[in-house]
Amino acid sequence: MPPTGRNAASSSPGDLGPCQTSGVGEGMRPVLAQCCAPGQVSPGLRRELIDCWITVSNAGGAVGFPFPPVDAAIVSPVADELIASLSPDRRLLVAVAGGALAGWVHLQRHSKPVIAHWGLISHLQTLPAVRGQGIGGALMTHARQVARQEMGLEQLHLAVRGGMGLEHFYARLGWREIGRWPGALRLAPGDDRDEVLMVLSPL
């Protein structure tokens, strides 16, 4: 049975397929797991993912929905599209704490052959109730390990919304800023933000 967030926390490594066990270790908190096929995302995990996305977006998180408030009617189709696209080259990495989903991130190989040696990180988020416990950093470290050891990637890229200090979080994890698109993101009249481009290399 594909693991929900709760099952991912309670299953032993032998219970999960190879795509789901990377980084899982007894005694780790949070427990880290991954899904790389749509069938590995149970209805329970889907609900938790959507609920997390809604909560983080409505708390002001820069996770793909720049105009809160959002609800399930807005988030569910986007989540379902992400889940349907999962494959060994497009992975959902999750962190489970206390038997429930605490955060997640999306990791994908770039689809163009000329740049298929690098990957994209997107939608990193942790529930506000568990912020400050190192879950975001654990997810990013896990993503780096999966990218290098399982996907054979050589570098990772991401883009963050300026004005939120997110680049400092990533810099502490070894990422470096390589450029900005000035005023690329218009959140409201008079509120234009840079899009900050970052890279992690070598992995």
> What DSSP assignment string belongs to 112-166?
SGGGTTEEEEEEEEE-GGGTTSSHHHHHHHHHHHHHHHTS--SEEEEEEETTSSH
Q: Is 189 helix (H, G, I), strand (E, B) or coil?
A: coil
Domain membership of residue 165 (yes or no) is no
CA distances from 151 to 43, 65, 119 (A): 27, 28, 9
pLDDT score recorded for residue 139: 98
Averaged over 34-52, what is the pLDDT? 98
User: Who's near 141: CB < 8 A, 6+ residues apart?
Assistant: 173
CATH number at residue 62: 3.40.630.30
For 84-122, the pLDDT digits (tens) are 999 999 999 999 999 999 999 999 999 999 999 999 999
Domain membership of residue 22 (yes or no) is yes
Burial 94-130 (b: 16+ CB within 10 A, else e): bbbbeebbbbbbbbbbeeeeeeeebbbbebbbbbeeb
Domain membership of residue 37 (yes or no) is yes
Domain encompassing residue 95: 5-109+120-153
Helix axes 43-58, 72-84, angle to 10 degrees: 130
For 71-87, the pLDDT digits (tens) are 999 999 999 999 999 99
Q: What whole-number distance in Å separates Cα of residue 161 and Cα of residue 168?
A: 12
Domain membership of residue 129 (yes or no) is yes
Give the DSSP per-residue string, 55-78: HHHHTT--SS--S----HHHHHHH
Q: Is 18 helix (H, G, I), strand (E, B) or coil?
A: helix
Which of the two residues, 28 and 162, has the higher pLDDT score? 162
Averaged over 124-135, what is the pLDDT? 96
Averaged over 154-163, what is the pLDDT? 97
Strand order in the sheet with 118-126: 31-35, 90-97, 100-109, 118-126, 155-161, 191-200, 176-188
Domain membership of residue 178 (yes or no) is no
Average pLDDT score over the chain: 89
Q: Is the pLDDT of residue 5 over 90?
A: no
Q: Is the pLDDT of residue 13 over 60?
A: no
Question: What's the structural domain count of the chain?
Answer: 1
Q: Is the pLDDT of residue 16 over 80?
A: no
pLDDT score recorded for residue 187: 95
pLDDT score recorded for residue 29: 73
pLDDT score recorded for residue 19: 56
Domain membership of residue 194 (yes or no) is no
DSSP conformation class of 102: E
Domain membership of residue 161 (yes or no) is no
pLDDT score recorded for residue 65: 96
Peptide bond into 13 cis (omega under 30): no
Which H or E run contains 4?
none
Domain membership of residue 103 (yes or no) is yes
